[in-house]
Structure 1
Amino acid sequence: MERKKKELVLEGLSCANCSAKIETETSAIEGVTARVNFVTKTLTLEYDAAHREEELLGKVTGIIHSHEPDIEVRDKEQSSSEAFLLEGLGCASCALKMEERIGKIDGIEEVSIDFVTKKMKVKSREGHLSTSEVEKIRSIVTEIEGDTLLVPVKSDSVEKKFTAGSLWENHKEAITKISISSLLLLIAIFLPEGNLMQTLLFVSSYVLVGGEILLRAGRNIARGQVFDENFLMSIATIGAILIGEFPEGVAVMLFYQVGELFQAVAVEKSRKSIGDLMNIRPDYANVIRGEETVKVSPEEVRIGDVIMVKPGEKVPLDGIVMEGASAMDTSALTGESMPRDVSESSEVLAGFINRNGLLKVRVTTSYGESTVSKILELVENASSKKAPTENFITKFARYYTPFVVVSAMLIALIPPLLTGDAFSEWIYRALVFLVISCPCALVVSIPLGFFGGIGGASRKGILIKGGNYLEALNEVDTVVFDKTGTLTKGRFDLTELKAEEGFSEEALLEAAAYAESFSSHPIAESVQKAFGKDIKKSRVESYEEIAGHGVSCRLDGGVILAGSRRLMEREQIPFKEVDSIGTIIYVAVNGTYAGHLIISDEIKSDAREAIASLKAQGIRKIIMLTGDLKAVGEKIGEILGVDEVYSELLPQDKVSKLEQLQEQAGSKGKIVFVGDGINDAPVLARADIGIAMGALGSDAAIEAADVVLMTDEPNRIGTALKIARRTRTIVWQNIFFALGVKGIFLLLGAFGNATMWEAVFADVGVTVIAVINAMRVMNTDQL
């Protein structure tokens, strides 16, 4: 029978015990499976299609309110932000104005506009935008920038691609206007001064290249929006013309438009770089239906369908291999260049690329729930969580431009009144001052820097959920690691086998495997796995577990003892005590010590290197938390070089220990917790920054953590810190460069030592340089 899925937000859920009861009671409804994620406050329902949704939701809500009456139950789809594409958005300061005004609409809870991706996310207090709210948003957008279109985007359409044509294709109109205007200006300059034809050519050149700017400025003034780049350029160039500086006024407008073109090209190049990341989305799926294979959109494929993935194709949806074998390129998701071999029963994820074999895959998740979809959504939504530096620049720009305009008016009026100088000279200085003042370099390059850092990190298999977390990584001084699955591989393996004289290693391993053959303990299972042969239990004549010591069994008439040193001491068998990490199994055959086995959770190959890298980057303290025995924990901590080890901790103890560490640290620095993202969800959520590692395909990790590492490699944490620091360096380079250059030119302009040409460079030229510098963040190949 067809199954359906529904996600509910349980706003106000505060009782972990209640959440477990809600899950149990809801799952007891016939045909319903329920999962409650206490960290994210979501309830996921999977149910038979025979259930009427409205009736089922009524029952579920009743169960929820019987345990926590104050919980507000909302549909997750309706609770999420709605997305719009702002087609034609070309003005960064306009984006800021839109964001500010839309945020003031009654009923709008949150709004975020990303100038780089031209995407706007809007969240309504009612859970869904009404028609009137959408119209108000559309009205504000067209008021501020008339040519911008508001295009609704489906919530799962995070795969929007950034196509980039040639320079001519993308900017045909602008290049034509600039070329003709330049030609008219050159002809006019070579004509005799005072000639009527010269004046007409100057005016024609100016109107051609600046007419659109003048219209925008006029529309904005009519709406009460004075302080923007259109107004500044219009007043400055018209002022220059009115005081007789015709060539300069026209040339400045021309130079400004050339600069805007370069800026647009630079931003487009950045969008394309980000678009390359977004284009990991598969375009189609080959669904097997009967004897035929049908090519369909990934959104149309249902759970349980069988798809065919040919060599060179992207895996369109998460699933299990039913037939075939291949090497998979996982670099788009993990940043890992080494291919991953898959065969029958292996899990494959959307976004993997099939390098050679033909595969048949049974789909296990819908496209909206697939790993690639979650990654794309996470990366795109990251821009809505702005870093403190971005918020500061937004506020700075809001007050900076009006301040400069008032200053320019004072420069134009007060000095000539006090000194008796000609007004035209001081008006010219004020106009230069105005042109310099536009804060576009900061408004465009700072968000672009953070977005580029997030995009660059994702290419390394590091998903950072927002600019705020990226910036916060710069303030980390303590890193707390969970041990199992994070610094170690999280599985028990035979790591040492030592036979005494008179016994072979094969005989020792066989004796241990038969002794452990009736136990289901993970240690016993690892011994049986290492033996690797069929165990004929009929050979075992008797079997006895000795609590706290080990086991005794009679095999083929002989007696085998396998267990701890206490077992050897109890049976008074001389043995060689071993000091090592892991569980040591001592084996005796017929009263003679035969040797030992060591079963341990193997340390990851790069764990020690990762910790050394963190210390080299200035991390003050590295701590390890583990549920292992104190001796084992301390031994591993010593090998890895961590500063402190806390052992024998239950999951709830880890949360308490983290809270203690936070109290001790105070406000000095941020604490990072690194865990496997499944068992450690509560600690990940409690930490200043939670990093989930080895989380490829783990919904719990992607939901609970602030940073998600898609591979099992601890050294990616050091890479994340390097990317964060590099991003901060480039962002602050742009801030100091932009403000420094503008500050110098503002002073030069005020004292009459800067011309309009230099003023335009201080505005547009600085913006272009800052944008190009910000794009360097995307290059993480050397990290």
Structure 2
Amino acid sequence: MQHLDGVVDAKVNFGASKLTVFGSATLEELHEAGAFEKLTIYPEKEKPPAAQKEPFWKRYGLLGLSLLFILGGYIFSKDILFAAAILLGGFPLFKTGLKNLLRLDFDMKTLMTIAIIGAAIIGEWSEGAVVVILFAISEVLEGYSMDKARNSIRSLMEMAPTEAIVVRNGQEVLLKAEDIEVGDIMHVKPGQIIAMDGIIVEGHSSVNQAAITGESVPVEKAVQDEVFAGTLNEEGFLKIKVTRLSDDTTIAKIIHLVEEAQAEKAPSQQFVDRFAKYYTPAIMVVAALVAVVPPLIFSANWSEWIYQGLAVLVVSCPCALVISTPVSIVTAIGNAARNGVLIKGGSYLEELGAVKAIAFDKTGTLTKGVPVVTNFINYSGDENLLTIVAALESMSQHPLASAIIKKAAYLNIENQVEEFSSITGKGIKGLINGIEYRVGNTKLFDSIPREVTEQISFLQNEGKTVMIAGTDKKILALIAVADEVRESSPTVIERLHQLGIQQTILLTGDNKATAAAIGRHVGMNRIEAELLPEDKLDFIKKLKSQFGRVAMVGDGVNDAPALASATVGIAMGGAGTDTALETADIALMNDDLKKLPFTIKLSRKTLQIIKQNIALSLVVKLLALLLVVPGWLTLWIAIFADMGVTLLVTLNGLRLLRVKE
């Protein structure tokens, strides 16, 4: 590829099936330069060309004809029929193998070509023909398996539409996604895919966000709600104001990050690559010695030992070893992306499987991050008291005011507030129907009855923030507000302990009473409260020195330092959140903690399968090589040992597609 005029460099992303060319070259030149066989190259931003299905006879005709010639060769004992089978079935192999041989590039096809030519020279036509057929069949099966692994990215890319209906100069026009600008208004009909990230300005619908979050249950969307490119508008007609360009949409970032992740080499893959670098030339030397030493030193039969040397060459190809890790990583990262978990690289996938302790932020992670009124204790007997408190809070800027307003919204009774004032550090007050009402903490009231004080302490011990409502003479009510714990949090923590996580730790800036109440409720091993961001960072460092590998789960904003310091940083709610996508190593796209045990299970399964694949590749090769000692190694055993194991490790890696929550 790099020898083409105008091409400076070229990189192949094995996992994503993507070729990146630096420089200039036409598609025709690239097709001619690369050994792409039946693959079609097309520009990244275009939809893949419609697959033109080749007739069965054209696709597998040569392979079938080769098989017939082999059968004929065995029936009529004619070497010419085996030679015809070798030429027909091995043509694509020889074409690449001879080209690589001239460049001294000793890959699998080069070694196979040498072995088959050698078999023909020493008169082993039948075995050479069987080797060609077995190799051709395994190539077809391996191509099918790898295509299945890459489908996760392809299905994501197909979810990103290339065009949309946009209003320009009062007219509806169909534009390509890259021509749509921020601020444009898109019209999306029921049943259409939303083409760009944006905010709904008109309409109401349910939107299936499975492409982004992995959650197939549609989400209700109305005016001012955010929607994402690649999601399906199921019911209503929507007008959407575009907020991001096509290259910056959430789905574009996900596709890019998953492609980068699949290209990045995991630690085990780096080991295999280093091993293969020295292994291949060493094996060529061994094969040469096997072919030459017995005839020269022990006067053995030249033909027999050249044959054994060729068999060593075939069986020792590091094909299965080299493919053992990437096929597992590609499949696992693709499966995670389909389930709404974005993993930025094979290294993070491997590290997560070995994590011993997990630290959690509280707000927005274990809790929903939205305060709600949990208790309204009315001492006055006035049914309209809640609306009076809500009217006062509507004038306030206090962060908990929204919870009270929301609680009273269904009552629909309006109260006019006069002479409103905010008292710093204490609360608020104002006149409603000529009576002065107050809402605030204990400092705002002169005397509080003992039973009310006891009730306040009880609620505070449950981790709730308590406000008092009353007049200058009397306490009328207590309002307890809390950030609700996610329904899934206790179950998730229990599941993590079942998976063997030794420590779960709550790290929060909140007060000790609130932290203790939530920590106990969800089942944490350890609770650390009243922490600043730098305190969280220091605590993660201590955990790493104690447990080795530590994960941190947070919202990706104020937890950025701790997320970056942890062995694996996991962000909640990556959908549409740039900070989460940029800061964390793993993002749970739909803000769902239940995805965490799934991701750990997937990570461990991936590690397990990688180890199985490496062990199987080495053990089978070693056993096959031992057959050289008594002279039992044949070319067809060699090809079974090599291509058979390659296919086995590929299929074993594909088992990761079946890992579910």
Give me the TM-score of the superposition, normalised by structure 2: 0.90
Which 10-residue stretch deviates more, 145-154 or 308-317? 145-154
Q: Which SS does the other structure have where 2:375 is aligned?
A: strand
The C-alpha deviation readout for 1:625-679, integer Å capped at 9, x for no partner, is 22212221222112122222222233344334334444x33xx522222111233
Say whether 1:218 aligns with 2:103.
Answer: no
CA spacing shift, 1:524–1:288, aligned 2, 3 Å: closer
Q: Matched residues in 2 for 1:539 and 1:488: separation?
A: 34
Distance 1:379 1:236 in 2: 39
1:657 corresponds to which letter in structure 2? F
SS in 2 for 1:577: helix
Tell whether 2:378 aligns with 1:493: no
Contact 1:115–1:444 (CA<8 Å) still a contact in 2? no
2:66 is the counterpart of 1:181: yes
Q: Does 1:627 align with 2:501?
A: no
Q: Is residue 613–residue 715 contact of structure 1 (8 Å, CA) maintained in 2?
A: no
Separation of aligned partners in 1, 2:575 and 2:89: 52
Q: Indicate if the aligned counterparts of 1:610 and 1:715 stay in contact, CA closer than 8 A.
A: yes
Deviation of 1:521 (Å):
0.7
- Structure 1 residues 411, 565: CA separation in 2 closer, same or farther (over 3 Å shift)? same
Residues 184-226 of structure 1: CA deviation (Å, up to 9, x unaligned): 23223322x5xxxx3433322222223443343333232222x
1:753 equivalent to 2:600? Answer no
| Structure-2 change in CA distance of 1:255 and 1:524 (3 Å) | closer
2:192 to 304, 308, 313: 313
Q: Is the 2:42–2:48 Cα contact (8 Å) retained in structure 1?
A: no
What is the rounded CA distance, in whole Å, between the counterparts of 1:679 and 1:256 in structure 2? Answer: 55
The alpha-carbon deviation at position 724 of structure 1 amounts to 1.0
Against the structure 1 CA distance between its residues 538 and 116, is the aligned structure 2 distance closer, same or farther, given a 3 Å change threshold?
closer
Match of 2:408 among 531, 534, 547: 531
CA contact (8 A) 2:142 2:647 kept: yes
Match of 1:119 among 18, 21, 34: 18
Q: How far apart in 1 are the matches of 2:171 and 2:653?
A: 50
Deviations 1:438-478 (A, max 9, x none): 11123234212101111100111100111111111112122
Q: Which amino acid aligns with 1:522?
A: P
The answer to whether residue 255 in structure 2 is matched with residue 376 in structure 1 is yes
Q: Is the 8 A contact 1:174 1:261 kept in 2?
A: no
2:130 alignment counterpart = 251
Closer/same/farther in 2, CA of residues 355 and 472 from structure 1, 3 Å limit: same
Where 1:476 maps in the other structure, the secondary structure is coil
**What TM-score does the superposition give when structure 1 sets the normalisation length?**
0.76
Aligned twin of 1:261: 140
Equivalent residue for 1:586?
468
Query: What residue ranges of structure 1 are gaps of 5+ in the alignment?
Result: 1-85, 87-97, 123-128
Q: Secondary structure at the match of 1:407?
A: helix
Residue 288 (structure 1) aligned to one of 159, 162, 167: 167
Residue 381 of structure 2 corresponds to 503
Change (3 A) 1:692 1:165: farther
The one-letter amino acid paired with 2:469 is V
1-structure distance, mates of 2:95, 2:223? 65
For residues 736-757 of structure 1, what are the alpha-carbon distances to aligned partners after superposition, in whole Å with 9 as ceiling and x for unaligned?
A: 2222222211212443233222
Is residue 558–residue 590 contact of structure 1 (8 Å, CA) maintained in 2? Answer: no
Aligned length: 651
Give 1:465's match in structure 2, choosing from 326, 338, 344.
Answer: 344
Q: Tell me the distance in 2 between the aligned counterparts of 1:242 and 1:130.
A: 44
Task: List gaps (5 residues or longer) in structure 2.
Answer: none
Deviates more, 1:746-755 or 1:398-407: 746-755
1:181-200 to 2 correspondences below 5 Å = 181-191=66-76, 198-200=78-80
Is 1:716 aligned to residue 595 of structure 2? yes
Q: Equivalent residue of 2:531, what SS? A: coil
Q: 1:220 to 1:449 in 2, by over 3 A?
A: same
* Identity among equivalent pairs (%): 36
**Secondary structure in 2 matching 1:485:** helix
After alignment, is 585-594 or 428-437 more displaced?
A: 585-594
1:130 Cα deviation (Å)?
5.7
Within the alignment, does 1:639 sit opposite 2:516 as a pair?
Answer: no
- How far is 1:153 from its partner? 5.0
Structure 1 residues 393-417: Cα deviation after superposition (integer angstroms, max 9, x where no partner) = 1122222222222212222222344
Letter of the 2:124 partner, please give it.
Answer: E
Q: Distance in 2 between matches of 1:616 and 1:173?
A: 54
User: Which of residues 397, 403, 409 in structure 2 aligns to 1:520?
Assistant: 397
Q: State whether structure 2 residue 553 is matched by structure 1 residue 674.
A: yes
Counterpart residue number, 1:72:
none
Given the superposition, is the C-alpha separation of residues 582 and 165 from structure 1 closer, same or farther in structure 2, using an over 3 Å criterion?
farther
CA spacing shift, 1:385–1:200, aligned 2, 3 Å = closer
Give 1:480 shift.
Answer: 1.6
Q: Is the 8 A contact 1:307 1:363 kept in 2?
A: yes
Matching residue's letter, 1:772:
L
Give the Cα separation in 2 of the matches to 1:752 and 1:451: 39
- Are the equivalent residues in 2 in contact too, given 1:568–1:574 (CA < 8 A)? no
